Each structure stands twice: as structure tokens, then as C-alpha cells.
Chains A and B, each alone.
Chain A
């Protein structure tokens, strides 16, 4: 069988029928009962399901509770399994859609296109492809139907600042230290339906595309009901390959507990199957194999050690809040006081002593600094909050002091304790080194005057809330 090529949805040639057949397959899958593993509802529920959510009102008869327990609510977030799990999920989905297209009389070898929203050469890149927004949900199966008075999508486009690809510059797949960057692919965890710190690619652009589109896409328990979900994740999967191709030092984990961890799915015939991460490292070997348009596959699996070198220093917590912060419609400002005894620690002393060094005429040494937002819990789909550092205490928020944003994708499901979640909430880590080093060089820098300001981009929806368990600053 020939290897499929997953194409850029905006570069499909005129007369191409990829999306037309995708629409027909979606309509067919939606007509199948939720007990059928090849149905639209069943496939979406593998990612996540919340029967109380209006988007799941059409669930109908569900499979047995033991089958639900085995196959539903399995998506991996905040973990180093984020990328391999979604690759497996997409591959079986692609197989199911492809088989259905053949059943419907279409061509064999259908492949899932990807939506490259970060393509600056395409003026339409930020918009959901027109095939997914034209017509009405009744006439176009690629639309996301409304439910309970809520439109299927809140927006038909994403923001340019939310699809930047800074994650591709990260050198490690998994972060070496807690408190510092969780790496490109996410932190080392066990099964994590949601929870740990979101890896670089997962945080940006993955989470932001979800919450920018919003409504069904804004919640992992409903996201896969939207046909655009699959093109978004094909792009994330493509970016994994782009990252690997970018530099020989960019390698996948070689730890056996990553390679041999297996996950359960259903294949094109609905039969239960399982795959391990080691089965999906080379895209040409995943099921019938695939490549991405203009992205060469990795044919050999590099075995470069990502062990921490002796020169690497561990980050230390320099400051942390002692009470949870509940965010609302107004900006929230927290002061980060440095722990006094921490200043005796050599690495932390070097950070805290910066103003003295500056006064003596020498520039303060550059430090790595990470702002951690830990145990974030909440309900509904909260707005994105932009994060600023401020030393003046004036509450001002300028773009120069902007250090990142918090999308809170999946915060509600990560807050619920169940057989799939531990209920600890989510975690985000922002690398604030550049901004804080600039602030430290300023003569007005004081160790007891660092403020973190969280500014909502819009008013929260009714029923949404978010609380950050701890905000901490780690430096090295």
C-alpha cells in the first residue's frame, strides 16, 4: 500500500475532493449509533466526554460502562505522552474515515489534511478553512452544530500571537527539572488524561487554537466533536516532525517507560487495538504509513542521550504565593516576595544581588527564570489571561513586560477527580528570563517589588471560573 501524504488544507489543488469526502464521512459517522466504535460520537468520546455538556445531548445509547471506562476519556494532556497518544488517535481516525469513504464509493487512500495556521505566507492561514464555515450546520457536515443555544464555534479564526512557534526552539523533548521548562513534548508523567505542566508545543499553539475557536473546541470533553479538531491536531503532529527534522539534537525520549507505554483504540473495523509510543516514532510505519507535505519523515530513530549534563544546575524556588488566587473579570496582581533565606544560596544570591552588581558598574549576570502557575482549577471555559511582570507596582501592563498567556484549555476536566483524572488541576510554566533580566538591570529593581499581573482578554463566561493554587518563581 502506498504511503499517504497529509496535505496542507490551504494548498489542496482546485477540484480536489479531500474535504468533500471528509464531509460525507463525517455525516455518515454522525448517523451511526454511539455504541459503534466507528461512529462520530464514539471517536470524539475517546478524547473526552462530559455527558452534562449540551454538545453531548445527542449521545443516545452509550456503550457499556466497562467499555466506556476502557476506551473513553483517554486523551493525554500535560504529559510526555501528549504527542504519541494524539498521533495514534489521529491514525486510527484517519483509517476509519478512509474505510468509510471507500464504503461510500469514494477513492481509497484518503488522508487527513492539516491546517497550518502559523503559515505567514498565507493571508488566510488564521481563518478556519472556508469549507468548514460555509453554509449552515444543516447543509455542511464540516460545520460544528450548535447545542443548547450555544454556537458550535465562538470564532472562526485564531489570533496571530496565539500560533507562534517558539516551541520549536526548545531543545529537550521533556524538561529536565521541575519548575523549569517542561520541554517541547511535555513532562515525564504516568497516564495523564489531564494534569501536569503543558509542554511547549501543547501550550502554544495547541491550547490557544482550541480556546480561540472556543465553545466545543474550547473543552477537551467536546473538542473532537468539531471536524476542524482533526486538522488542528494533524498540524500539531506535523510540527512534532518539523521539530525533529530541525536539529540533530532534537530527539524523542529513549526511556523505556515512554517507549513501551501502550494505549487502546479501535481500528477501521471497530476492532480493539493498542499501540505503543515506540510504534509511532516513524510516521511511515504508523499503520499504513504517512508523511506530511513538504516535511521529510525521520526514517531512523536517533538515539541521542538527553541526560542532564553535570553543568546543568537545578532551578530553585525563589518565591511563591502562600494562598490561591481566584481570577475574575478584573486584572489580578500578585506580589512575589523573595524568600529571605534563599538569598544565602549561591545561585539565588547571584540573582537577588543583581542591583548591587549594577551599582558597581557591572551588568547583572543573566539568569534563567520561570514563572510557574500550579494546581490551576476551574469550571467552564475561562478567558485567556495575559501575564505581565511589573516592578513599579502601578498596575501598568505594557507589551515590553508581557511574558506569556495562560489558555487554561481543559481546566474544568483537570479539576474533577475521577477514574481518569486525579483532580490536581493544570500547570503552566512561562520562561520569563528575557523580561526579568531586563528588569533586573534597571536601577529601580528591588527584590521585594516584583508583581505578576494577570489580565483577562475578555469578560469570563457565566459559569466559568479559575483559581491558581500557587504562583511561583524558579531561577537558576
Chain B
């Protein structure tokens, strides 16, 4: 029989070796590394923003508009692709930072349904499916924005209004029955196979499915944040509210609707003055 190898061979607390605590933590929180990635992305975003909490909503969109609409044609395809890549990767980072922590229940389902030797792989497959769907949405939105600037050049002034519109839609979405339905579905589970390709496929498919549920629930505030250029302060507020809703409020609560409405109003007033 192979015994557990202590990670921390010295030290104890309450008479129990420390490695037992580490072992228990890993068993209780098999998704610990997912949280680690989210925390790392938050840190990276913080340092990248120079610890500035609120971004310039119009700046990047203005840049995109400039590239796309110069002389009314796509002159510099390299710049366009680079800008789109940057936009989508920023979007992906935002999803990792904000949405992964909300997936604790689904990740725990995947982890504990899988045998220990393929637990981390199962989590990774789930996250891959989950992220794929969000990245597809990010790409579609950036494509739409590019198209809009291509066909309606010289509308940079409108960029500042987009986040306001985004959060206003997010507020209205809170009252929509489809959103309430999607929120209830955030807790869904599926039977997962334990071995073979079927097991990988099940996890990937579950990730895609949960990505779909999450998209239906959270797309408006996430898109609004993207339109607000991923301002870190705004991201923190939105992430905090979404976590609070998920763990402390019933699916009938309208608190987030009022919060998104308040943010829309704040952005509007900030734009006006």
C-alpha cells in the first residue's frame, strides 16, 4: 500500500500534522488552482492598470474605430487582427477573473464525480468548454463593433454611451423571466462518466452547457463591462455583486437590477459632466 507522502513533514496544529490540513484543503477544494488562476488574473489586471481603478471607456473603442474606419476600409488588416486579439483576450481575462469563481458548485460537481486520478483533468476540460463559449461571444461582439465602425464611421462620440446602454440593458434583463430561469439553472448537474473518452467529452459538454447557462444569466453586465473597457474598479464592483447574488440572494431578487441601473446612471452623469 502506498501511504500519503507528507508535503509538510514538520509542524503541527491542535496536535495534527500540518500536512493533514494541506491534504484536507486539497480534498475539500479540488478547484483551488482555478481560484489561483482567477486571483492571478485579478492581480495582473491590477498591475496592468497601474492600480488605476477606472478605465477610459472611450479610449480603446476609439482606437478600434480609428483603425476600422480610416478611409472607410480595412486598410491595415494586421492592426485590426491585433486589436481584435487584444480585445478578445481582455474579454477572456475578464471571464476568468469574474466568472470562474462563480463556478464553484459546478467545478465541485465535476471534481467529486471524477476519480481522484483524473480529477484535475476533468476540471480543466470543464473550464475549456466553459471558456470556449464565452470567447466565441467575445469574438462575435468585437466583430460586431468592428462592423459597426466600418459602416458608420466617425461615431466615436457614441462610444461613451455604450457602457451606459449596456448597464441599462443589464438592469432590464434582471426583470426578464429568462434571466431568472437561467439563474436557477446555474445549479444544474449532469451524470458524468468516469473513464475513457466519454469522461472527457462529458466534462467538456458540461462546461459548454454551463457556459451557455452563465451566458444567459450574466451576458448583459459582462458586455457592459467590455464596453466600459474592463475598468478594474467597475469589474470589482460587478464581480462582488454577482458573487453576493449567487450565494446570498434568491433567484427572485432584483437587487442586481437596481445596482446595474445605478451604475448606468453613474456613467451617464459622469459622461455629462
Contact = CB atoms under 8 A, between A and B. Distances in A.
Interface string B167-190: 000000000010011001111111
Contact of B112 (A317, A423, A469): A317
A179 B112 contact: yes
B2 A261 contact: no
B1 interface: yes
Contacts, number: 120
B113 interface: yes
B192 A470 contact: yes
Contacts of A191: 184, 250-251
Contacts of A319: 194
B191 A346 contact: no
Nearest to B246: A190
Contacts of A417: 181, 185
A322 interface: yes
A475 B250 CA distance: 34
A178 B112 contact: yes
Given A191-B250, A419-B184, A317 B114 contact: yes
B28 interface: yes
The listed residue with most A CB atoms (<10 A of its CB), out of B115, B196, B247, is B115
Contact of A339 (B105, B112, B190, B195): B195
A421 B186 CA distance: 10
Contact of B109 (A178, A308, A310): A178
Given A178-B108, A339-B194, A316 B116 contact: yes
Contact of A419 (B3, B177, B196): B177
Nearest to A419: B181
A305 to B, nearest CB: 13
A424 B189 contact: yes
Contacts of B184: 191, 193, 418-422
Interface stretch (B19-27, B71-79, B156-164, B258-266): B19-27
B248 interface: yes
Interface residues of A, number: 54
A69 B28 CA distance: 36
Interface band, chain B: 35 or more
Interface in B93-122: 105, 108-109, 112-117
A342 B187 contact: no
A349 interface: yes
Given A179-B112, A420-B184, A322 B247 contact: no
Interface in B237-252: 246-248, 250-252
A423 B194 contact: no
A399 interface: no
B21 A264 contact: no
Contacts of B21: 310
A311 B28 contact: no
B185 A261 contact: no
Interface string A167-178: 000000000011
Contacts of B192: 470
Interface string A304-319: 0000101111101111
3 shortest interchain CB distances as A-B pairs: A469-B191, A470-B191, A314-B27
Interface of B: 1-4, 14, 16, 20-21, 24, 27-28, 105, 108-109, 112-117, 177, 180-181, 184-196, 198, 246-248, 250-252
Given A313-B27, A469-B191, 6 more contacts: A189-B187, A190-B186, A191-B184, A308-B28, A322-B193, A349-B2
12 contacts: A190-B187, A190-B247, A262-B250, A264-B252, A310-B16, A310-B20, A310-B21, A314-B28, A346-B4, A422-B186, A423-B185, A424-B189
